[in-house]
Amino acid sequence: MDDAMGDGLRQLVQEPSTDEIDAALRSVERRARRRDHAVAAAAIAGVVVVAGGAWVGFAAVDGPDVSTAVGPSASTTTSDAVAGVGSIPTSLPARRSDARQVQDEVNEFWQGLPNPDLVRSTGIRTADDGEEIVVVALRADASQLAEEIHARWGPDVLIELGYHNYPEGTPGDASCPQIETGEAIPGLEARLELDDGGVVASGADIRGRVVLTNTTDREINFAPTSAPVGYVVEPGSDEVLGVTLQAFAAPLVTYSAPPHGSTEMGIFVGTTACQPASATPGLPPGEYEVLVAQNDRGADPSASEVHLVTARAPLTVE
Amino acid sequence: MDVVEFERLFRDEYPRLVRSLTLVCGDREVAADVVQDAFVQAHRHWRRVSAYDDPATWVRRVAVNRAFNHHRGVRRLWRFLDRAGRPDRQGTEPPDVAGEVDLWRAVADLPHQQRHAVALYYLADLPIAAVAAALDIQPGTVKAHLHHARAALADRLGSPTGGSQ
């Protein structure tokens, strides 16, 4: 059957002829060159875009003739745009517009995803040789999405799956934060509760809350200065193993616990492996602990005394 | 860019990929487009692609993924047309050649990973390890796909199974 099936399949589909292969090769080279020219033209077009007198493009000295007027004003020429702008790059980064175009495509793709939380960020990175490339940071459990992005954009896009490079699977620049130390806030007890029974898939995020209970007769205010996150640690240890790659704005909220009352602080926990030698983007399945250590410098950010709110809860990574 | 190296890769890989992805896509022109798209990408990024250990694997993987995406698009179209009561699948069906239709249909009914494995193994004449690299799966998984595919095709076509891969 094996040989018969192979023969049958081979008879079913013939190889392209030499002429077809030659024509296809010429077509590929033509298309690749056409795209290169389109990219160069797009880059040149960026030269003369001046908005409100502010330079927003890049100067180009090479490439196709750009002496014709383009941009917001029909009378604006390259030299007009360059004149009076001051210090302007004199050479165009070879792929800048291309990278931005790719980033636009990736961002559009991102917006259309059913679960956009899987994408942490997109950006453009400049290599030592000046070449620019789009970087997409994905949540550690987004391997399927990484595969799709890699299939669509190939080497146009560097993919970071957690702290790992995709598809190579090599660890990237991972580093785990150190837990701060300090004194507990007198009279304020903290209890950590995690959603979903404290069970999360490897690489995914889980939410929770710290319930702050005031055991005193006076109001206690707590103004955290760090992002509302919890870290995954070895049970009983302060050594951080997992983090979230979610970006947070600087916290500006103050929590007030009334006398003998309580208040809640929402927190975010990630299971992206952050140890440099991590074998996988997400933490290996197992039993861990989440540690929240939020500092409070009160009204004086320069105060030397740091008060902490700490709480722990068990976490199962599946 | 090294034009000679690129052309060598193209002449080595293009025929076998078009042949195998024709089986996957059910359409020779679609397969040729998919493979050419992969080579356009490779051409544009040749400096980086050529630095890979095996640029052919990269091209195969991009082509296979594009073929898979095409297949998913076609399946979505089929489902839509079926729901709309217009099973007009012109251009997405294999050629209706006497004696070949059953085999086409049998292959088309295989799960996509099995179909890719069969196409790359039998039509691209790639060794198991290269099929595994192109599909980004383990060699053992390729063997399992081939085994199940052979069994399914034999069952469908009424032939005894054989082979030991």
Could you read off the pLDDT of B8-24 as tens digits, one per residue? 999 999 999 998 888 88
**Taking CB atoms and an 8 Å limit, are B44 and A36 in contact across chains?**
yes
C-alpha closest to that of A268 among A284, A236, A283, A246: A246
What is the value of pTM for the model shown? 0.46
CA dist B114 and A107 (Å) reads: 33
Q: What is the mean pLDDT of chain B?
A: 75
User: Measured at the alpha carbon of residue A30, what is the angle toward residues A158 and B18, in degrees to the nearest 5?
Assistant: 75
**Taking CB atoms and an 8 Å limit, are A1 and B41 in contact across chains?**
no
Q: Which of B7, B15, B40 sits opposite A32 (nearest CB)?
A: B40
**Taking CB atoms and an 8 Å limit, are A15 and B23 in contact across chains?**
no
Least confident of A19-23, A71-75, B67-71, B138-142: A71-75
B65 touches chain A (CB under 8 A): yes
Kindly report the nearest CA distance between residue B5 and chain A, in angstroms: 13
Structure tokens at B93: 């069906």
Question: Which positions in chain A touch B68 (Cβ < 8 Å)?
Answer: 151
Provide the terminal-to-terminal Cα distance of chain A, rounded to the nearest Å: 43
**Taking CB atoms and an 8 Å limit, are A154 and B41 in contact across chains?**
yes
Return the pLDDT at A299.
47
Residues in chain A, pLDDT under 70: 1-3, 34-97, 127-130, 181, 248-252, 297-308
Return the pLDDT at A128.
55
Kindly report the nearest CA distance between residue A15 and chain B, in angstroms: 6
B116 touches chain A (CB under 8 A): no
Kindly report the nearest CA distance between residue B14 and chain A, in angstroms: 7
**Taking CB atoms and an 8 Å limit, are B39 and A9 in contact across chains?**
no
Residues, chain B: 165
Reported ipTM: the value is: 0.71
pLDDT digits 0-9 by tens, A192-230: 899 999 999 999 999 999 898 999 999 888 877 777 889
Q: Answer yes or no: CATH 1.20.140.160 is held by domain B3-157.
A: yes
Phi, psi of B57 (to 5 degrees): -65, -40
CA dist B95 and A140 (Å) reads: 44
A contact test, residue of B1, B14, B49, B112 with most A CBs within 10 A: B14
Return the pLDDT at A269.
93
CA dist A238 and B81 (Å) reads: 58
CA dist A44 and A97 (Å) reads: 9
Return the pLDDT at A129.
57
CA dist B131 and A56 (Å) reads: 48
Top pLDDT among B87 and A307 is at A307
Return the pLDDT at A114.
84
**Taking CB atoms and an 8 Å limit, are A9 and B103 in contact across chains?**
yes
Q: Reduce the DSSP state of residue B138 to 3 states and report it.
A: coil
B100 touches chain A (CB under 8 A): yes
Q: Which of B41, B100, B154 sits opposite A12 (nearest CB)?
A: B100
Residue carrying structure tokens 């029974």: A197
C-alpha closest to that of B150 among A13, A5, A12: A5
Residue B53 to residues A216, B86, B133, Cα–Cα distance (Å): 67, 48, 12
CA dist A199 and A316 (Å) reads: 5
Question: Which positions in chain A touch B57 (Cβ < 8 Å)?
Answer: none
CA dist A181 and A106 (Å) reads: 41
Residue ranges of chain A that CATH labels 2.60.40.2360: 183-317
Residues, chain A: 318
Question: Which positions in chain A touch B29 (Cβ < 8 Å)?
Answer: none
C-alpha closest to that of A226 among A162, A292, A302: A292
**Taking CB atoms and an 8 Å limit, are A15 and B162 in contact across chains?**
no
B14 touches chain A (CB under 8 A): yes
Domain boundaries, chain B: 3-157
Kindly report the nearest CA distance between residue A2 and chain B, in angstroms: 5
**Taking CB atoms and an 8 Å limit, are B44 and A35 in contact across chains?**
yes
Return the pLDDT at A289.
93
Burial A176-199 (b: 16+ CB within 10 A, else e): beebeeeeebeebebebebeeebe
**Taking CB atoms and an 8 Å limit, are A13 and B40 in contact across chains?**
no
SS (HEC) of chain A: CHHHHHHHHHHHCCCCCHHHHHHHHHHHHHHHHHHHHHHHHHHHHHHHCEECCEECCCCCCCCCCCCCCCCCCCCCCHHHHHCCCCCCCCCCCCCHHHHHHHHHHHHHHHHCCCCHHHEEEEEEEECCCCCEEEEEEECCCCHHHHHHHHHHHHHHEEEEECCEEECCCCECCCCCCCCCCCEECCCEEEEEEEHHHHEECCCCEEEEEEEEEECCCCCEEECECCCCEEEEECCCCCCEEEECCCCCCCCCCCEEECCCCEEEEEEEEECEECCCCCCCCECCCEEEEEEEEEEECCCCCCCCCCEEEEEEEEEEEC
Q: Which of B49, B68, B153 sits opposite A5 (nearest CB)?
A: B153
Percent pLDDT > 70 in chain B is: 73
Q: Which of A16, A154, A156 sits opposite B18 (nearest CB)?
A: A16
Selected from 3.10.129.10, 2.60.40.1510, 3.40.50.620, 2.60.40.2360, the CATH number assigned to the domain covering A183-317 reads: 2.60.40.2360
Q: Identify whether the C-beta of residue A282 lies closer than 8 Å to the C-beta of residue A271.
A: yes
B48 touches chain A (CB under 8 A): yes
